[in-house]
């Protein structure tokens, strides 16, 4: 069952490892691009954890929390920003996109995947956090 998909749809085995390695590659690549780009490290440090504020939506409900968290941790918005940053030669827009993608990358590398509405601990990369072993 090494390559099986669990009942929650979470990746397992080699697929899970590959997805986490992709996350690490994204983090390293975006951080390297940011350094090459000459972006402000103060801005990097200030904005790096901003997407994690989305988990506050879990105070409302698991379903709403998952929706908001996933919106902040999918590639859709930061890749759009990156495209706009290049297209309009906007250094701040590009910087925000690179930082945001680096954040998503490190989250994925650490196993924090996109969330299911069952709760914060249920992700496409498998369960996170403490689990009851009863």
Per residue in 62-84, pLDDT tens? 999 999 999 999 999 999 999 99
Confidence (pLDDT) at 131: 63
How is residue 76 written in tokens? 């859709």
Confidence (pLDDT) at 7: 52
How is residue 47 written in tokens? 């904005």
Segments of the chain with pLDDT less than 50: 1-5, 134
Confidence (pLDDT) at 58: 96
| Domain boundary assignment for the chain | 13-124
CB 101 within 8 A of CB 86: no
Confidence (pLDDT) at 9: 77
Q: Which residue has the tokens 């996933």?
A: 70
How is residue 22 written in tokens? 């992709």
CB 56 within 8 A of CB 112: no
**H runs (alpha helix) in 9-109:** 13-37, 41-47, 62-72, 76-87, 91-109
Confidence (pLDDT) at 129: 79
Question: Burial letters for 106-127: b for 16+ Cβ neighbours within 10 Å, e otherwise?
Answer: bbbbeebbbbbeeebebbbbbb
Angle 17-18-23 from CA coordinates, rounded to 5°: 95
CB 12 within 8 A of CB 5: yes
């Amino acid at each position: 069952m090494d390559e099986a998909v669990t009942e929650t749809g979470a990746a397992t085995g080699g697929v899970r490892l590959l997805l986490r390695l992709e996350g690490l590659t994204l983090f390293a690549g975006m951080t390297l691009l940011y350094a090459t780009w000459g972006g402000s490290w103060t801005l990097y440090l200030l904005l790096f954890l901003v997407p994690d504020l989305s988990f506050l939506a879990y105070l409302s409900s698991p379903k709403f929390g998952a929706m908001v968290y996933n919106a902040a941790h999918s590639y859709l918005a930061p890749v759009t920003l990156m495209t706009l940053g290049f297209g309009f030669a906007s250094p701040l827009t590009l910087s925000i996109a690179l930082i945001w993608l680096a954040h998503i990358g490190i989250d994925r590398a650490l196993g924090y995947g996109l969330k299911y509405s069952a709760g914060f601990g249920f992700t496409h990369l498998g369960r996170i956090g403490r689990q009851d072993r009863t």
